[in-house]
Amino acid sequence: MPITPEWVALSLVPMMGGKRMRALLDHFGSAGAILRANRDDLCQVNGIGKTIAGSITQIDLSAVERSLTGWQIGGLGVLAWDDPDYPVRLKAIEDAPPTLFVWGDQPPCRLEQRRHVAIIGTRQPSDESMRTTRNLAFELAQRGTVIVSGLALGTDTNAHFGAIAAPDGVTLAVLGGGLWNIYPAQNRPLAEAVRKRGALIAETPPNGEPTPTHLVARNRLISALSDAVIVIETSESGGAMHAARRAREQGKPVYALDLPASGNRALIDEEGAAVISGEPHSLEAL
């Protein structure tokens, strides 16, 4: 079923998310009926306060329709939950994005049967951690595993490069901003390489800004798209910890390198993450 402007408009209301979208659909039955509802009726739905209700009643549907047409002409996949191309792994989580934007030659729907492993960590890894990241990503990609990461500087960048270095390596990059607003800017050439050897994925609109909230929220998508998560190196306050904990909530195994970094120690010593050495033989568990 083709995605509609009504669906996209609702899904992009600030603070909407999958849970509120489902609550609205359960109450009103369809996106069109939600848009026809008045503010008071919208506020009767659990989780919908005056602010969100007000945003819904002020939607400019014609503007959204123009944007949707432009995104699709520009080559983006714009997917709703019921679209057969929506990633099965992602749809399984409670707060799956109602609308997902995908841009690439190997969209997730073509990769469903392959194993996916996320490789994540600090933006300021040691030289040894960077080498380990590239080696792990390369070895896994050589074996047909899809490498998932977040296109950030440091560990993410090296994970994507390692995957691309494999002759048939495939990688997915989950962004914390829009697909047409690549962040960080210095990774635009890498984003183009990822697009050709996999796909870029985002829940924010294509021109959306990479806010701290969006950057944290995308961690649940990285873990959801993956069958396992490897943390290379991170502090206890690092973003990789968010992804690791979301992976736990989603029932995904978490692995960490045995390093002195505070996040690695917390994951291994307190949260039960399995230790991985970084050597090819340690990949058998994956």
Average pLDDT over residues 221-229: 97
In whole angstroms, give the CA distance from residue 123 to residue 213.
17
In whole angstroms, give the CA distance from residue 28 to residue 69.
26
Average pLDDT over residues 263-274: 95
Instruction: Please state the three-class secondary structure of 215-274 as a single string.
Output: HHHHHHHHHHCCCEEEECCCCCCCHHHHHHHHHHHCCCCEEEECCCCHHHHHHHHHCCCE
Rounded to a whole number of angstroms, the CA Rg of the chain reads: 19
Judged against a pLDDT cut of 70, whether residue 281 lies above it is answered with no
Residues with Cβ within 8 Å of 62's Cβ and at least 6 positions away in sequence, in order, are: none
- % the chain with pLDDT above 70: 98
Judged against a pLDDT cut of 80, whether residue 59 lies above it is answered with yes
Burial of 150-174, coded b for 16+ CB within 10 Å and e otherwise, reads: bbbebbbbbbbbbbbebeebbbbbb
Average pLDDT over residues 232-243: 95
Q: What is the pLDDT of residues 5-56, one digit of tens each?
A: 999 999 999 999 999 999 999 999 999 999 999 999 999 999 999 999 999 9
Judged against a pLDDT cut of 80, whether residue 202 lies above it is answered with yes
Q: Report the amino acid identity of residue 257.
A: L
Per DSSP, what are the bridge partners of residue 101? Answer: 78, 202
Structural domains of the chain, ranges and CATH numbers in brackets? 1-73 (1.10.150.20), 108-285 (3.40.50.450)
Residue with tokens 């040691």: 126
Q: Report the amino acid identity of residue 7.
A: W
The pLDDT-based confidence of 282 (bands split at 50, 70, 90) is: low
Judged against a pLDDT cut of 80, whether residue 1 lies above it is answered with no
- % the chain with pLDDT above 90: 95
Average model confidence (pLDDT) across the chain = 95
Q: What share of the chain is helix, strand, coil (3-state, %, to 5)?
A: 50, 15, 40
Q: What is the pLDDT of residue 71?
A: 97
